[in-house]
Chain A
């Protein structure tokens, strides 16, 4: 996919361009706000990564200008400003996701891919999600794996729903905490791992084809082994 990167730190920009390239994505780099806005208005991108503190026009103003012009390009804000109200400000200005520096590239990649896919699929209303022989019904709130009914607690259901909505995409622990629990902080213990292992026991039990996989050092992904 095509990524527009607005970032004034050359080292970070180079590294991101190179790493994204290795992951099969193409990066266009803009190092000041006006250049970034110009690229965003004229180019065709799947997602834009915006650093807040850049020369000439700050990141939030760039996003606001984009939204005013009616562009729905998904934007991920990447900023060293990590106070809760800074995050709120960023999302209010039209950003779709907010990540704080320092960041792990794997986390950034996961979030960018989720954002881009949201754009591709749209938020199509759906009542039923399915991966392989795992089915989740959003109306009856029933989950089945093949012929077997799976009994999930409400939070496990929400967790599975999130993973299924992002089939094949790596999601990080932080993303899960934010989306499923609405917590913007990282607990120091491995709470998420325990939730995942419980969910895994329920959906992958007795199955020769486990769906819920761990991506070492990054997070989790729900996918059929074939894909």
Chain B
């Protein structure tokens, strides 16, 4: 998309600049050509007038003499003369015949004429003007081929200029695009990294105080505000947590006390056991929520260090193997050798344990817990897959939510926090928990930062 904007911007700049330049050049060209032509016509008219004066003063004979003199002198000046009688029959002059197509009295006509001196001296661009003097016609012309050259040169220069302007325009468009989009891209990549979890970072604000700087400032303000709100929520949550823990602790202690003093045979014992179970479940949910909140608050980042994936998975397999065996499930471990990731080992262990736990709870009939890890660029993709019933695609986003459980699984004991915890751990490590179809079954994927 950025590339498109950049291309569009430079093309638009180019088109605009080129069009402007073309108009300017065209105006100059047309003006120059018409000025030159006008000058040519004027020169010719003056010559014609001066010869006409000779006619007025001395009649045709004086004119003929003057025409002859000037014809002989003309040579390199490029003037052509022709004095003709009726029917445009040449009398004297330096061109052979009356130019075909030129009517007597016409002004500024441009017709090729043939010079008397040489068969080959064809004057291509002659400005002609003629006048009827009694029964004679006088024709004066001047070769303006050198104007053609000038105009050609001008044309070439105009085209070259246009081309150059267009190139400049493209370059300008690209560089402006580069500058503007460079800043947009800078902001974009910073925002992406903030979204990936680098929540303490901020968009760079330049010193120019321009619109981009304003945008960056406002964006940073939004982030700060967001951060403050989150901090408030966290603080409130923590306060609630601490305030609630103490009474819960007392409740639990009192139940335990009552249990130990009453003895198992007492009629209240079953009620007390049930109460104790309820309080435990309450505490477990409560602790689970607090733990997720803490992971999300980034409080555990300092525990991250290069950790061999194989050994973490081995430990989990070791812990769960007998249980899996008990329910006729087996592990299938496929981990590239020497893979290391930068993680908090306890958190990663717990995340994998939760996923394995889920597989054992919900995908027992599939008989398989497949743990895989392979390197992909600077990440390591770790997945836990099963061959159970899977999770319908439309429910996958939902099961990651806190306390969410699918209707079908309500009968299986669990807090509904297992996957939320894994998702929080994933976010802490700058990634998302991905749930994909394992065809059949469910596969949970985590992409973790590889230790180089």
Contact = CB atoms under 8 A, between A and B. Distances in A.
Interface stretch (B8-16, B146-154, B319-327): B319-327
B287 A82 contact: yes
Interface string A173-194: 0000000011111011111001
Interface string A83-111: 11100100000000000011111100000
A198 B322 CA distance: 8
Interface string A26-40: 000000000000000
A189 B294 CA distance: 23
Interface residues of A, number: 35
A191 B256 CA distance: 24
B279 to A, nearest CB: 8
A123 interface: no
Nearest to A181: B319
A105 B418 contact: no
Given A101-B245, A105-B256, A187 B302 contact: no
B260 interface: yes
Contact of B357 (A16, A104, A189, A217): A189
B176 interface: no
Interface stretch (A7-15, A66-74, A140-148, A164-172): A7-15
B315 A83 contact: no
Contact of A84 (B245, B290, B303, B323): B303
Interface centre among B276, B320, B323 (most CB of A within 10 A): B323
Interface string A122-161: 0000000000000000000000000000000001000000
A186 to B, nearest CB: 8
B252 A187 contact: no
B323 A101 contact: no
Contact of A103 (B249, B302, B347): B249
A104 B350 contact: no
Q: Tell which of B322, B353, B413 has the most Cβ of chain A within 10 Å.
A: B322
Given A12-B253, A19-B260, A102-B245, A191 B319 contact: yes
A185 B346 contact: yes
B4 interface: no
Contacts of B347: 84
A205 interface: no
A84 B344 contact: yes
A181 B257 contact: no
A194 B242 CA distance: 34
A198 B254 CA distance: 35
A155 B252 CA distance: 33
B255 to A, nearest CB: 10
B256 A104 contact: yes
B250 to A, nearest CB: 5
A185 B353 contact: yes
Nearest to B277: A217
A191 B242 contact: no
B357 A188 contact: yes
A80 B253 CA distance: 15
Interface residues of B, number: 45
Interface string B306-330: 0000000001001110110010000
A88 B302 CA distance: 11
Nearest to B414: A188
B421 to A, nearest CB: 10
A206 interface: no
Nearest to B279: A102
B299 interface: yes
Contacts of B283: 102
B360 A183 contact: no
A25 interface: no
Contact of B320 (A84, A106, A191, A217): A191
Q: Which of A9, A106, A185 has the most CB of B within 10 A?
A: A185
B115 interface: no
A18 B250 CA distance: 13
Contacts of A185: 346, 349-350, 353
B7 to A, nearest CB: 51
Contacts of A119: none
B249 A101 contact: yes
A87 to B, nearest CB: 9
For the complex of A and B, 4 pairs with smallest distance between CB atoms:
A102-B249, A194-B322, A15-B253, A185-B350
24 contacts: A11-B246, A11-B250, A15-B253, A16-B253, A19-B253, A80-B242, A80-B245, A82-B291, A83-B300, A84-B300, A84-B303, A85-B302, A102-B245, A102-B252, A104-B252, A104-B256, A105-B257, A106-B256, A183-B319, A183-B349, A185-B350, A187-B319, A188-B413, A191-B322
